[in-house]
Structure 1
Amino acid sequence: MTDTPSSSRFAFAGVAFAFLATMLGTTLPTPLYPLYREAFGFSQLTITVIFAAYAVGVIGALLLTGRWSDQLGRRPLLLAGLAASAASDLLFLAGDGLTWLIVARVVSGVSAGIFTGTATVAVIELAPEARKRQATLLATAVNMGGLGLGPVCAGLLGEYAPGPLLLPYGAHLGLLLLGVLAVLRAPETVTRAARPDLRWQRPSVPPAVRGLFLPAATAGFAGFAVLGFFTATAPAFMKGVLGQDNLALIGLVAGVVFFASTLGQWLQERLPQAWRLPLGCAVVVLGALLVGAGIARASLAVFLAGALVAGFGQGVGFRAGLGAVATASPADQRGAVTSTFFVIAYVALSIPVVGIGLVSRLVGLAPTGVGFSVLVALLSAAALVSLWRRRPATAAG
């Protein structure tokens, strides 16, 4: 039976919705962290450890299941990711202490790790012919849009609805159910291998790509460190430094960095290719310094401006860096190089925020936040200098 245009559009939209719903769930706890601190007496360090557990799940799933959808089919992996997302919600609903919350975040990370690769490819494959050229960007927008909507939705429900530690996860379970129904109705786009090869994806970077990979990965590390900062510790800085405890506002500030990233990824196509990654680095430098200035001056406006600018720069730099590295890699090693790039990105999402939790216990939140912002700016500047030094060699080649 041949798919009709309407059924093709429905399958594309359904899988995109499942992608958005799953990624939304991964950032749902962000504005709720202050409530967990009050309910369980957690320190800021404990909150950052809970958040960092997410990256453990993501990295593990990326390395273990990165090639599985090529072997088993897209639909089984999408359903597994939705199941992991639902399991995370149930763990949060039942959680009554640190262990439960850490396990919930690890499982949430597993759902993101499965969906990051599988759903991106599935959305591209299911895109109607009229949308094929924009399919990659649409998949990216769904990914980042979901990450941005998570804190916004949870902040609104946490501030203005009853059961702030229950209702967000219950509502998300409803979205996941719709996602399951959509995936079940979507056609499979690959043929299951007769003998599936389920070996883990070993990170590697071939020598010919390392000169470009290093500055691109450095820029990616800096950009994802910013995303981790706003997802894990923005609530603490909003309340402890800026004097803002409205959960809806906290969720909005945490969400705008992802919305700005989506905009940056979209607009980078309009820039000359050679300038995309350097410009992304330069904008992250500016954004990080604005974030630091907002913390130092206790200015919400400057802090928010920093989130917007840094998020935009992260979007430009991340898409440009990943695209350049993938293009420069040999075809038979492209998957491994891409996986390595994502592993570095998700390490950046977790390790720096744990450092913030540790250092803030010694010197306080404000000095720690300013120091973090300066370090991110220096990392991005180092990547920019490295890229600038490569230009003559690239031109000569």
Structure 2
Amino acid sequence: MRETSLWNKNFLLICFSSFFVFMTFYILAVTLPTFVLESLHGSQKGIGLVTTVFVIAAVIFRPLAGKWLNELDNRKIMNVSLILFAVCSALYLIVHGFAPLLVLRVIHGAAFGVAATTTSAIAIKLIPEKRKGEGIGYFTLFMSLAMVFGPFLGLTIITHFSFPVLFIMCLIFSALSLACGLLLQIPGEPEPKKSGAASSWHWSNFIETKAIPISISGFMLAFSYGAISTFISVYAKSLGMEPFASYFFIVFAALILISRPFTGRLFDRRGEHVLVYPGLLFFVVGMIWLSQADSTFAFLAAGGVIGLGYGALLPSFQAVAIKSAPIQRSGLATSTYFVFFDAGYGVGSYVLGVVAAMTSYGTMYFVGAMVVAFTTLLYYALHHRRQGKEQAGETSA
């Protein structure tokens, strides 16, 4: 039973710890632009910088986290990063200038990069080998729910209350994440690996090369998704549907929630391809439908179709990245995947924002759909075809 049991205290604790980290992340992602403009009297350029420095810091520290996970006590790394994450969340209450905010965002981004990587890596260790797809699916579901409720809660608070109330809420979520981390136990965790000084800083201790092919597909998915999380409220306003912007994410999450029990089991029983290709199709169709939305129904329905696609793709890509590497390098595989994913999110938010400024939001979402359509070719060339060749080689041998 112990080998196949998924739902237990430790798995729930790591899921909720990750959930509260991402709640804080998404609350700040959608509300800090308004904070910069209204409270700090910053510029539009400043809004982009506040997001960019956070993502850059997270991307830099994810590979470091992967290295530390291979060499140090995983639980200690997680809890130190969660303490720093909570301290940073508290400091927003006393920030009254743009320069101090940028410094805080760099430190907060570093703490986020380490915390998000370690919680994912620990979750993977707690999932039975025969239920990897299902377990990672449920773990990423908590991240997806944060992606929905975070923006909804953040926008509601700044509409009806104030920024100090918002930052106190972020501090509460950060403290809850830390509490879950402190209660967590990792049964049978192996002794940390001792690395020699000469090899300690070799590039292979920071990047898992076997995870790079699928991580490129993750980059492209995040590239297009950045346009949804960053611009959907502005797009809804341009369509005269501003009151329904938050409901877009509710529908998006509902379809992920409904489909997740089936997608995880399908992955474990029939492999990733049966999920990835339909997921890509749903995502592309949903993005095209969103780009042409001319009614509330079309706007919300497109969110549901995109949710079906995203819900199948995100855990599948992550599971493939982890399965591509030896078990002792699963932490590095996780960090490698999210380095690409975070970079795609940051680059996509900027590039597609430029596309929207030069054309329209509808055109931006259509371009995002074409990017994901191209991802189908990348996935086939970099993973599916190569996997087939490896299996054929094993059979002939």
TM more than 0.5:
yes
Relative distance call for 1:310 and 1:86 in structure 2 (3 A) is same
1:32 maps onto 2:26 in alignment: no
| Alpha-carbon distance change, 275 to 298 in structure 1, aligned in 2, over 3 angstroms | farther
2:239 to 233, 242, 249: 242
Give deviations 1:147-202, integer Å, cap 9, x for gaps: 3331122133233x311x23222122123334434433444654765967775842
Cα separation, 2, equivalents of 1:238 and 1:41:
24
Q: Aligned partners of 1:151, 1:221: CA distance in 2, in Å?
A: 22
**Runs of at least 5 residues in structure 2 that lack an aligned partner in the other structure:** 1-6
- Where in structure 2 are the equivalents of 1:281-360 lying within 5 Å? 281-331=277-327, 335-360=331-356
Q: CA offsets, 1:24-79, max 9 Å, x none?
A: 11111244256347513543x65444333332222222111224245442332222
Instruction: Tell whether 2:282 aligns with 1:280.
Output: no
Match of 2:357 in 1: 361
Contact persistence 1:78–1:115 (CA under 8 A): yes
Q: Is the 8 A contact 1:220 1:314 kept in 2?
A: no
**1:348 shift after superposition:** 0.9
After superposition, residues 194-205 of structure 1 pair within 5 angstroms as 199=201, 201-205=205-209
Q: Which residue of 2 aligns with 1:93?
A: 93
Q: 2-side partners of 1:373 and 1:37: how far apart?
A: 31
Match of 1:3 in 2: none
Q: Which residue of 2 aligns with 1:52?
A: 52
Match of 2:3 in 1: none
CA contact (8 A) 1:232 1:353 kept: yes
Question: Which residue in 2 is equivalent to 1:229?
Answer: 227
- Residue in 1 aligned with 2:65? 65
The answer to whether the 8 Å contact 2:284/2:369 transfers is: yes
For the structure 1 residues 28 and 104, does the alpha-carbon distance in structure 2 shift closer, same or farther, using more than 3 Å as the test?
A: farther
Q: Mark the runs of 5 or more structure 1 residues left unpaired by the alignment.
A: 1-7
Letter in 2 for 1:51: T
Q: 1: distance between equivalents of 2:384 and 2:176?
A: 48
Q: Report the equivalent of 1:162.
A: 161
- Structure 1 Cα separation of the partners of residues 226 and 142 of structure 2: 19
Mapped contact 1:268–1:276 kept (Cα < 8 A): no
Q: 1:174 to 1:196 in 2, by over 3 A?
A: farther
- Structure 2 counterpart SS, 1:28: helix
Deviations 1:281-334 (A, max 9, x none): 443344334334323344443333333323332332333333334334345655
Following superposition, the deviation at residue 274 of structure 1 comes to 5.7
Q: What amino acid is aligned across from residue 21 of structure 2 in structure 1?
A: T
1:354 deviates by: 0.8
Amino acid at match of 1:242: L
Checking the alignment, whether the CA contact within 8 Å between 2:86 and 2:178 is kept in structure 1 is no
**Secondary structure of 2:75's aligned partner:** helix
CA distance in 2, matches of 1:260, 1:231: 17
The 5-angstrom pairing of residues 75-224 of structure 1 reads 75-96=75-96, 98-123=98-123, 136-159=136-159, 161-163=160-162, 165-187=163-185, 190=189, 193=192, 199=201, 201-206=205-210, 214=213, 216-224=214-222
Partner Cα separation in structure 1 for residue 324 and residue 101 of structure 2: 40
State the distance in 2 between where 1:46 and 1:369 align. 24
Counterpart in the other structure of 2:262: 267
Identical-pair percentage:
18
Given that 2:20 and 2:176 are in contact with CA atoms closer than 8 Å, whether structure 1 keeps it comes out as no
Contact 1:280 1:315 in 2 (8 A): no
Task: Tell me the secondary structure at the aligned position of residue 166 of structure 1.
Answer: helix
Q: Can you list the C-alpha shifts for 1:358-381, whole angstroms capped at 9, x where unaligned?
A: 333333444333323333333335
The number of aligned residues is 376
Q: Is the 8 A contact 1:14 1:182 kept in 2?
A: yes
Q: 2: distance between equivalents of 1:150 and 1:304?
A: 18
Which letter does structure 1 place at the counterpart of 2:206? R
How large is the RMSD of aligned CA atoms in angstroms?
Answer: 3.9
